[in-house]
Amino acid sequence: MRLTKEELKDLMKKKLNKAGLTEEHADGVADVLVHADARGVHSHGAMRVEYYAERIAKGGLNTAPNFKFEKTGPTTAIFDGDNGVGHVAAKLAMDEAIQMAKENGIAVVGVRRIGHSGALSYFVQQAAEQDLIGLSLCQSDPMVVPFGGAEPYYGTNPIAFAAPGEDDIITFDMATTVQAWGKILHARSKNESIPDTWAVDKNGEPTTDPFNVNALLPIAGPKGYGLMMMVDVLSGILLGLPFGNRVSSMYHDLSEGRNLGQLHIVINPEYFTNLETFKQNITTTMSDLNNIKPAPGFDQVSYPGQRSAQREAAYMEKGIEIVDDVYEYLVSDVVHNNAYGNKDPFAK
């Protein structure tokens, strides 16, 4: 099924509003989700709506959160999300970080006690659209074996970065695992196999069956393991939140808030160099990368975020493709099918 960006956002907004979110918060969540779907990151898009709806219905997402923003220094602050929807809290916290960076050159804002916040690229692009550099990190479920280990300890713990060029934004958004858990969910939704380098089964053996996944693998072995540790320290321990294998499960108890953490870092290039020169050099970097001789099997070297931007442009012409099951749920009268509660992190 193909839908325009506006049609898809409207369907998601209506479903989330019906589930119990205010119209404003439903709109905010839908905006982040449609951003992901439009860029081809379907694991963080419309397929998540039913999970959010069930958590809302069971009380695990606060539909009337008391958001609090407190400056702790000239360039530092804490945004307390009161276990409301992470998408809205993270967006508002980034708005505050942007203003602080414009005034003081840099901002570091911790976002405490939130639910799942979706694709981090959305938030760093908020900064880049204001001619600033954005960096965002966040916690996730303990579902990754540390290098050399046989039991999960850290989450996929993603990192995102964005910087403005003259006419485009360079964007980098990655899990610190070989692949994000949402990609495995997407493979499940389409009954597709996964590469054997993504995950292991209950015996610690590589698996191509997304339904047999028992743990994910860190990217580049010990290097990815180190990065996910860093993310956990900066978005968990630093903010006084649960960390490591103490981070709450996405599925185990949908009646409780998740108390997740996220960290936004925003840098104002004008405090370090000439802004226009900076943007010109980002654009030159993009051009340089595109002009590098491609390796066998590749048509072109793409700069980070370029393919996602190209998919978004194509979707604007052809519509965003959504799997039938997700579309049928969105247009139905069903709020949720009680499909996610009381499951382990690798819920089928």
pLDDT in tens, 298-331: 999 999 999 999 999 999 889 999 999 999 999 9
140: exposed, middle or buried (Cβ count in 10 Å: 0-12, 13-18, 19+) = buried
Provide the strand spans (E) within the chain: 2-3, 68-73, 76-80, 106-114, 133-138, 159-164, 169-174, 199-200, 215-216, 260-267, 320-321
Known active-site residue 44: no
CATH of the domain at 58: 3.30.1370.60
DSSP-based helix, strand, coil % in the chain, nearest 5: 40, 15, 40
Helix axes 23-38, 121-128, angle to 10 degrees: 90
Is residue 113 included in any domain, yes or no?
yes
Q: How many CB atoms lie within 10 A of CB 326?
A: 22
Say how far apart CA 175 and CA 181 lie, in whole Å: 9
At 344 the pLDDT is 62
Is residue 158 included in any domain, yes or no?
yes
Count the domains in the chain: 1
Is residue 294 included in any domain, yes or no?
no
Residue of 35, 42, 44, 116 with catalytic role: 116
Range in 57-61, 87-91, 111-115, 148-152 with the lowest mean pLDDT: 148-152
* DSSP state for residue 147 in the 8-state scheme: T
Is residue 203 included in any domain, yes or no?
yes
- Provide the domain limits for residue 92: 2-274+310-331
Is residue 258 included in any domain, yes or no?
yes
Is residue 339 included in any domain, yes or no?
no
- pLDDT confidence tier of residue 345, bands split at 50, 70 and 90: low
Residue 274 corresponds to which tokens in the numbers above?
């000439």
Q: Write down the pTM of the prediction.
A: 0.93
Is residue 291 included in any domain, yes or no?
no
Judged by DSSP in three states, 253 sits in: coil
Is residue 289 included in any domain, yes or no?
no
